[in-house]
Amino acid sequence: VSRKVLAELHASGVGVALDDFGTGFSSLINLRELPVDRLKIDRVLVAEIGRGEHDTRLLRATIALGKSLGLEVVAEGVETTEQLDWLRREGCDFAQGWAVGRPADEASESAPLTTA
């Protein structure tokens, strides 16, 4: 995707999310060079909540990175209430997965983890 097109969309008020962060081709450079509003943490990292201290620290750091850059942070693949509770405690903004509801169409929003 062209950075110019993303910048034009962002300038017109369209939000941009960096999906599947933490796996595949995701890169910290994308956070610097793309007009990103939301960081979506891949389900692979979320699945490791509570399974080991190293994985917990990695996920905690990823949430902190997104928050420190002023991004909304979304956790994908949240399947248990334990994962949901942990993400809420760590300051994650939104969750997607069976723990918050059945899959919905693409027009549906993520479930917020904080209350107004």
Q: Report helix, strand or coil for 72.
A: strand
Catalytic residue among 33, 76, 79, 109: 76
**Catalytic residue flag (residue 72):** no
Structure tokens at 76: 């994908």
C-beta separation of 74 from 38 below 8 A? yes
CA distances from 97 to 36, 52, 61, 76, 110 (A): 22, 21, 21, 6, 9
Q: What are the residue numbers of the active site?
A: 76
